[in-house]
Amino acid sequence: MASRAPYVVPALKKHTATVIMAHGLGDSGAGWMALAQNWRRRGMFDEVAFIFPNAPMIPITVNFGMTMPGWYDIAKLGRDLDFEEALNHQDEPGILRSRDYFNTLIKEQIDKGISPSRIVLGGFSQGGAIDRIKNYIPEDWPNKRTPFFLGHGLEDEVVKYDFGKKSAKTLTDMGLEDVQFESYANLGHSADPLEIEDLEKFLQKAIPPQGDRQDSAGL
């Protein structure tokens, strides 16, 4: 998958965890760097390296074939789109290519000595092919306690709120035991301070500081 190199915000202390954050359609990794920079200013997540990948430039069907940064093609969007119809219009080859790319990023972190349990993969909007995730991972996924955080605005005009709810249900139906789904009033297709605060709390729980433990590595 040809794309620009990711933006990286290194850990300030001994690197013990990594957060990989995928941007939405038409955006770039730079669009989410302020998230890490805000935490840096507040002295949070000093042991965490943040990686903000850049999607390749591809034609997007829903935007009349215009070429823009995208993790996979999108045929249809909007509130009138039915959940099952959305599933039938997924760009499966594109999703699989993106999956392989993110697996490569994760493996690079593991090779540096970061524990898989301290690598967080997140995304906004297009990073949410959760609906079909059961088709891309084995049914005997070994760690049913892998924590998930999903947040969705009640006024989202691009990705229906119902899709978020059904995505969370898909994960719980797969037997996952730690799925957190949060709703946000008066929020459209964006993120707001309350959602970022909830994400912050999720990360504090998922990748707590390790201090001077020796089983960590540097980026």
Q: Is 28 a catalytic residue?
A: no
Q: Is 125 a catalytic residue?
A: yes
Among candidate residues 89, 189, 192, 198, the one labeled active-site is: 189
Among candidate residues 15, 91, 98, 125, the one labeled active-site is: 125
The DSSP symbol for 157 reads S
Q: Is 189 a catalytic residue?
A: yes
CB-CB neighbours of 157 under 10 Å: 11
Q: How far apart are CA 128 and CA 149, in angstroms?
A: 11
Closest CA to 114 of 39, 210, 218, 205: 218
Among candidate residues 27, 156, 167, 216, the one labeled active-site is: 156
3-state secondary structure of 38: helix
CB-CB neighbours of 26 under 10 Å: 15
Beta-carbon contacts of 111 under 8 Å, excluding residues fewer than 6 positions away, are none
Q: How far apart are CA 13 and CA 15, in angstroms?
A: 6
Strands (E) in the chain, as ranges, are: 7-9, 17-22, 48-52, 57-60, 66-69, 119-123, 148-153, 179-184
Q: What is the distance, to the nearest Å, from the Cα of residue 183 to the centroid of all Cα atoms in its chain?
A: 17
Catalytic residues: 125, 156, 189
